[in-house]
Amino acid sequence: MKTELTRFRVRENAQSSVEEWMQFLNANAAAVRETLEPEQMYVETIFSETIDGIDYLYWYSVQGEDGSGVEQSEHWLDEKHMEFWRACIDDTFPGEDLTPRVTMIPERVEAAMKPLAITADTR
């Protein structure tokens, strides 16, 4: 299992597109959940912050080791997600991975987050 927190810079003047993107994800929560299993994405949270007038988005995730990437997905929601990504994330500033120091997950929660195939095989 890997835990990540990555900061991405938002393109200048893309704030309204970011707001539309976040509303889109919230409005399509059921479809978002459909995309999580193939990615082995157990937790994914997007945070926002403005520093010195520059907007950033942070992705926090807890993900299995063998999940597929959003870039390989053919799910309609992931395709729309990538459209928003290209419109909103400033690719001239690479994402910055923050270093995890401690991950605290109760054992029962971590056990419940195993991929379905593994869980089914161990019953």
Tens digits of residue pLDDT in 93-110: 999 999 999 989 899 988
29, with CB counted inside 10 A (0-12, 13-18, 19+), is exposed
Q: How far apart are CA 5 and CA 120, in angstroms?
A: 30
Could you tell me the residue ranges of all domains in the chain? 2-121
pTM comes to 0.84
Classified by CATH at the fold level, domain 2-121 comes out as Alpha-Beta Plaits (3.30.70)
Looking at residue 47, its pLDDT comes to 98
CB-based contact 52:11 (threshold 8 Å): no
When the pLDDT of each residue in the chain is averaged and rounded to a whole number, the result is: 88
Q: How far apart are CA 44 and CA 81, in angstroms?
A: 14
Tens digits of residue pLDDT in 43-77: 999 999 999 999 999 999 998 887 777 777 778 88
Q: What percent of the chain has a predicted confidence (pLDDT) above 70? A: 92
Looking at residue 116, its pLDDT comes to 66
Tens digits of residue pLDDT in 6-42: 999 999 999 999 999 999 999 999 999 988 888 889 9
